Structure 1
């Protein structure tokens, strides 16, 4: 069995740590050679300690700038859609799981919005796919979505088709689209539960890596409020691009500020920086953002009070949407962060399927010699990778760019690999 057939936990240019699969799942390998101590095979705990050591070596540099990209996978726990009585999910799920929920809800032909108990006349997902020329068959055995269905491509298709809908079908089409978007919102509206999510532990570990003079930079594609909820529970200060006012309004210059105080009783210009301060860039919008009644401003509210959240819904035209307000300012800030010297980028739960973000990161790796990139995911098996962006990142690693891969998830053991212990809260 070659390393290509094993389960990798750590990949860098010079070190590959893998676990055997099948009958060899109790064997562990470094650069293709079984790891043994005193001629005995090591166990999983010892192997994970070796993975942690490699991770800590990678993080050993004192970085001036730390950027963490948090993708949809960081909010996923068991990937089971468990809604409450209002249809709000309790934990995060994948886009594929949301697509399954959409298919079932539309097939039932019954859907209630919170403000209305009326049944809406809707198309099924298969009918929407056929009428918009997405596909004439998206179901296996007439029931389950087949493996070729892609919710992002489908949404792009129906949004493009919307202006061509026959007049007789327009209301039904509008109702169906509204339901699809409502399901996406409710599937991402979960609240932070520290017994389920590990964001507090993750932030605690990151704070130990961060120089107070340079705020930790959290960048997320997620609409949910897990990061800000976790930060608030820890009494962190978060600059999210909104003013510190009674009605917070979007102001991208807020990211440029920090919290300092003068050194007391000393005649010096030295300042003391407040610890546990972070920037939070929600580059695809948020459940808590809404346009003001005049439409001139973007304001932040409690998500329960938001009727039409500002969000980039999953569709393949996300790149075009990223040039609109407020996304352009957020993407520009993210890009600038990636080009700063002595920068560490950590990704978690990000699949690199979002091409507009993936290309930005790859470009920064290729042009910024001071950028180190640690890509973490639930699987880093290079031999089974059909994602061209990830393949390009693996090639960058092989060509001595400072890129490494770690098999870990935020709600799994990522915090431990980054230096945390089981005792961290």
Structure 2
């Protein structure tokens, strides 16, 4: 819907005309009489394929034996369609980029903050908790900022933050004055953004962090929703992120917690399923709204919409593992907020966490 609105506001051509030229029909109307939202991933995929086909047609016409020096009617029509589709794709991508840049200092992020706070109590002597996300937004970053948590995300801690995969090997320690002793700092996480981020930009071979929207200073680094996501995942820096995910899935005694992921991306779903097949010590908790049938619950207990027909192949496989008593697999019916609420609090707190909790209470009391 946002792309449709952007087309109307920018007068960049009819959204419905573009859809009809690619799909043959428009989505139609919703129950309230408004335009029905379509599948933007499918639409952008069709745009990409059509542009590639038109590019081949253009070269064929240009190099055909006896081709005239001036463009013929067919060549003019091909060039015009390529320009129209290119403008549409650029507008759609700019709209998507704008929509995912919604996070600011006032955004409600209680679930994200609670998740980081709970796992932040994990002993810093143990391997750092790794967060993998396909979201472009800055929810995790903003929540970490509010908690004074540290994210190791591949970017340098310099004025101009540049990406280098070697930065994932870094950690944060506290070195006390007058001693050689160094203690690992608590509340440190590794963050891997598998499809890029709203604040990543590329200029040449350099990837850096910036919210500047001027494309002349750097192109956005995002894997947009379309069928070529699998191929794009093999480009840097995405390849580093996916390599880290696959390595984590192969490690012994690993707990993988999944929420908000519908297993529609095969380049992520397949490694997870492969790990379940081969890693006997991998444990999986999958939280989704599609796992508990209505008839298994008492009346009034089921407040989350449930559609059993929308499970895809990987969700069905994982559910079958749970139904056949695979103790490694747990499926929960719920949203991200429900999952965070269900995660128990770790009993232990570090000295710094106790101090920060005390200072928070002191500041709250002082402002009353």
TM-score, reference length from structure 2: 0.75
CA drift of 1:379 comes to 3.9
CA drift of 1:174 comes to 2.5
Q: Secondary structure at the match of 1:288?
A: strand
Matches within 5 A, 1:127-276: 127-132=17-22, 134-140=23-29, 144-145=35-36, 149-165=38-54, 166-192=78-104, 196-198=108-110, 199-209=112-122, 211-261=124-174, 271-276=182-187
Tell whether the 8 Å contact from 1:348 to 1:409 is kept in structure 2 after alignment. yes
Q: Secondary structure at the match of 1:139?
A: coil
- 1:376/1:255 Cα in 2 relative to 1: closer, same or farther (>3 Å)? same
Residue 396 of structure 1: aligned partner: 321
- 1:158/1:381 Cα in 2 relative to 1: closer, same or farther (>3 Å)? farther
More helix by share: 2
TM-score, reference length from structure 1: 0.65
CA drift of 1:366 comes to 1.5
CA drift of 1:398 comes to 3.0
CA drift of 1:285 comes to 0.4
Structure 1 segments unaligned to the other structure (5+ residues) = 1-99, 112-119
Corresponding residue pairs, total: 305
Q: Distance in 1 between matches of 2:189 and 2:211?
A: 20
Structure 2 segments unaligned to the other structure (5+ residues) = 55-77, 294-307, 347-356, 361-368
Tell whether the 8 Å contact from 1:284 to 1:312 is kept in structure 2 after alignment. yes
Q: Distance in 2 between matches of 1:237 and 1:254?
A: 13
Q: Distance in 2 between matches of 1:417 and 1:401?
A: 19
Tell whether the 8 Å contact from 1:200 to 1:230 is kept in structure 2 after alignment. yes
Is 2:306 the partner of 1:407? Answer: no
Is 2:13 the partner of 1:122? Answer: yes
Q: Secondary structure at the match of 1:381?
A: coil
Tell whether the 8 Å contact from 1:213 to 1:273 is kept in structure 2 after alignment. no
- Root-mean-square deviation (CA, aligned residues, Å) is 2.8
2:4 to 94, 97, 103: 103
Residue 209 of structure 2: aligned partner: 300
Q: Distance in 1 between matches of 2:252 and 2:214?
A: 41
- 1:371/1:264 Cα in 2 relative to 1: closer, same or farther (>3 Å)? farther
- 1:266/1:248 Cα in 2 relative to 1: closer, same or farther (>3 Å)? closer
Q: Deviations over 1:123-182 (max 9, x none)?
A: 31x3222323x3334324895237xx4221211110111144522233332222222111
Q: Secondary structure at the match of 1:232?
A: helix
